[in-house]
């Protein structure tokens, strides 16, 4: 009776049941921000995990900056402008940022951080528009550059993906334009402001798009490297390294849930004789077919 271990060209397939390696999307310069099927969900979890700390720090920095701006407003703004501006900064925007920052800690909220962070960013952007609106009402020359600051904050600091970041940036931009039209800003000033803010949003949108695209390429690279490290090259079944990594988790789960656990060992009868008679190429093909049968009947 022969054994697959005697086939010297390749190591034996892992005893851990696994499906054959499925095809992954090719790493190409195609500019898409969407995977198919479950891979998109896997990328979402990967992205949230990778960006969680960045979002936490970005929200913390934003809270500190809003406090500094509030101090500057309290010192420099006239009273009729200062009170509503501080009300927006300290009564709306700072609490929203604080809630979003605190939301980065409970694990149950992590899957929703793109929504939470995006909502907080949009509220702050609209709050800055409101601050400029109050200044316009009282004919106070408050600079509009605060919109530029929050625009680049949306795209490059928050850890938001392309779509929510672009929504925050462009909605804030359009609301600002509507506000300035209502405030009666001179046409030339409005044109220049719209040009600079629109350009900032274009730059931010393109930059954020390519950042997410690069993250997706990195995600595919990690999956492919993991597959290469954990799969037998010939059969596509999990190798001993993957077995060792998974066996410990399965064993601990069985102990925790008081489930029975079994191990099945398989042997290919007369494989050495077959391999010696028909050659290594035929032996390889036989192992592939055996692996396919195992993989197609395993979960």
Question: Containing domain of residue 257, as a range?
Answer: 231-297
Report the SS3 class of residue 138: coil
User: What is the tens place of the pLDDT at every residue in 212-237?
Assistant: 999 999 998 888 887 777 777 777 77
- Same domain (yes/no): 257, 134: no
Query: What's the predicted TM-score (pTM) here?
Result: 0.74
Dist CA 42 CA 28 (whole Å): 19
- Same domain (yes/no): 264, 202: no
What value does the mean pLDDT take over residues 200-221? 93
* Weakest mean pLDDT among 4-8, 66-70, 171-175: 4-8
Q: What is the largest CA-CA distance in the chain?
A: 97
- Read off φ and ψ for residue 42, nearest 5 degrees: -65, -40
Domain edge (last residue) among 228, 261, 287: 228
- Same domain (yes/no): 176, 111: yes
Beta-carbon contacts of residue 31 (< 8 Å; ≥ 6 apart): 209, 213
User: What is the tens place of the pLDDT at every residue in 60-110?
Assistant: 999 999 999 999 999 999 989 999 999 999 999 999 999 999 999 999 999
In a domain, 63, yes or no: yes
In a domain, 277, yes or no: yes
Confidence of residue 15 (pLDDT cuts 50, 70, 90): very low
- Same domain (yes/no): 190, 289: no
In a domain, 59, yes or no: yes
* CB neighbours of residue 43 within 10 Å: 20
Give the residue among 286, 256, 258 at the shortest CA–CA distance from 271. 286
């Amino acid at each position: 009776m022969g054994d697959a271990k005697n086939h010297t060209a390749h190591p034996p397939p892992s005893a851990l049941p696994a499906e054959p390696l499925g095809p992954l999307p090719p790493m190409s310069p195609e500019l898409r921000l969407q995977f198919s099927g479950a891979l998109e969900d896997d990328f979402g979890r990967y992205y949230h995990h990778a960006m969680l700390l960045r979002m936490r720090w970005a929200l913390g920095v934003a809270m500190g900056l809003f406090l500094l701006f509030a101090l500057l407003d309290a010192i420099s703004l006239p009273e009729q402008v200062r009170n509503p501006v501080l009300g927006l900064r300290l009564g709306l925007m700072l609490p929203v940022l604080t809630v979003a920052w605190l939301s980065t800690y409970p694990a149950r909220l992590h899957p929703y951080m793109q929504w939470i962070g995006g909502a907080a960013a949009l509220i702050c952007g609209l709050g800055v528009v409101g601050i400029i609106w109050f200044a316009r009402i009282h004919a106070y020359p408050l600079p509009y550059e605060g919109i530029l600051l929050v625009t680049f904050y949306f795209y490059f600091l928050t850890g938001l993906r392309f779509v929510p970041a672009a929504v925050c940036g462009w909605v804030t931009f359009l609301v600002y334009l509507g506000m300035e039209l209502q405030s009666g800003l001179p046409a030339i000033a409005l044109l220049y402001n719209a040009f600079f803010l629109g350009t900032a949003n274009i730059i931010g949108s393109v930059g954020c798009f390519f950042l997410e695209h690069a993250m997706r390429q990195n995600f595919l690279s990690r999956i492919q490297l993991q597959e290469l490290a954990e799969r037998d090259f010939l059969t596509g079944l999990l190798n001993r390294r993957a077995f060792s990594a998974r066996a410990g988790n399965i064993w601990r789960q069985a102990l925790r849930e008081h489930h029975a656990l079994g191990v099945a060992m398989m042997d290919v009868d007369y494989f050495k004789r077959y391999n010696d008679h028909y050659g290594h190429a035929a032996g390889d093909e036989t192992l592939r077919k055996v692996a396919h049968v195992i993989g197609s009947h395993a979960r």
